[in-house]
Homo-oligomer: A and B are copies of this chain.
């Protein structure tokens, strides 16, 4: 049963996949011979397709419909058949243009990137921001807003900013706040945010702190600032997938939207994608997430310097234009990496 795939078999499988990608309809032997110049009769094609079905590359939704590619077929396709097109100059220009980070806040840029991915691919764009905790600490700032309210602002070396409003037990003067800030900035210079946190937690237990009320204040404040660092994910262009014919019916649509409403699902996926460097492709059930059947995900990691810090990508139907989307994702990731470089 597991005989090798012939050259002709490959050609035909490719044709089927491409037709199916284009039309979303099961493709039959006759249509295939017409659209692709195969110099073969429908009957022959039928035989080959029958073989392909046996090998698990095609299925038919029912007898007497055409056939559609299985996940396994897509896998083969992206691995060894597909040749990735280059981006057009225009495409590249547009991506570059829209990824300017000057003059904007960094998460704005990532959001825009997500939007960009969505609109150039016409599927859904996804960007996971660098985990704040992995960034290098740059500066911590306390600003007194009112008697018992302090705004803590935490700045990382790459320009990400987080802030928290803290209700303090006792009133602290702005001067004291500044002093705390200076002290901590001095202490924490060069650590990653995660390390900063560890350091603070251990200090909290130390003897010294017991006797220095202000220091302990500072530590409580900054600890409050640091806790709960949820990954930021930007998902854009959900409406795009509504245009895909496979989701035309209302029930399916609802399901999809429900699934993506909480970002947990996407987070899981992206976390997985972050394990390995570079472009990765998850096809349908491969992701082992039930909700993802019928959908594929193309991701690429991006980095600052040598460290992988985030992932971005495109989610679309399994039946998606891999050849077109892969280079988009790839190029965008590279661009973002370049932008984030701290010179």
Give chain A's interface residues, CB within 8 Å of chain B: 101-106, 138-139, 141, 143, 145-149, 151, 153, 155, 157-159, 161-167, 224, 227-228, 237-239, 242-243, 248-250, 253-254, 257-258, 261, 342-343
Contact = CB atoms under 8 A, between A and B. Distances in A.
Contact of A145 (B143, B258, B342): B342
B139 A155 contact: no
Contacts of A105: 162-165
B138 A143 contact: yes
A104 B248 contact: no
Nearest to A227: B103
B161 A145 contact: no
Given A138-B143, A250-B249, A253-B253, A161 B151 contact: yes
B138 A141 contact: no
Contact of A161 (B104, B153, B159, B249): B153
Given A138-B145, A146-B342, A343-B148, A165 B254 contact: no
Contacts of A253: 242, 250, 253
A343 B159 contact: no
Contacts of A101: 165
A119 to B, nearest CB: 11
A314 B153 CA distance: 32
Given A237-B261, A238-B257, 13 more contacts: A103-B164, A103-B166, A103-B227, A104-B164, A105-B163, A145-B342, A151-B155, A153-B153, A153-B161, A159-B165, A238-B261, A239-B254, A250-B250
A139 B161 CA distance: 15
Contacts of A237: 261
Which 8 residue pairs are nearest across A and B when measured between Cβ atoms? Answer: A239-B257, A146-B343, A102-B167, A242-B254, A161-B163, A239-B261, A105-B163, A151-B159
A288 to B, nearest CB: 24
A143 B149 contact: no
Contacts of A104: 164-165
A233 to B, nearest CB: 13
15 contacts: A101-B165, A102-B167, A103-B164, A103-B167, A106-B165, A139-B143, A141-B153, A145-B159, A147-B343, A148-B343, A151-B159, A153-B155, A242-B250, A242-B253, A242-B254
B239 A165 contact: no
Contacts of A141: 141, 153
A250 B148 CA distance: 52
Contacts of A146: 342-343
Contacts of A157: 145
A299 B254 CA distance: 26
Contacts of A143: 138-139, 155
Given A139-B143, A151-B155, A158-B145, A242 B257 contact: yes
Contacts of A258: 239, 242
Contact of A102 (B163, B166, B238, B343): B166
A257 to B, nearest CB: 4
Nearest to A252: B250
A243 B239 CA distance: 16
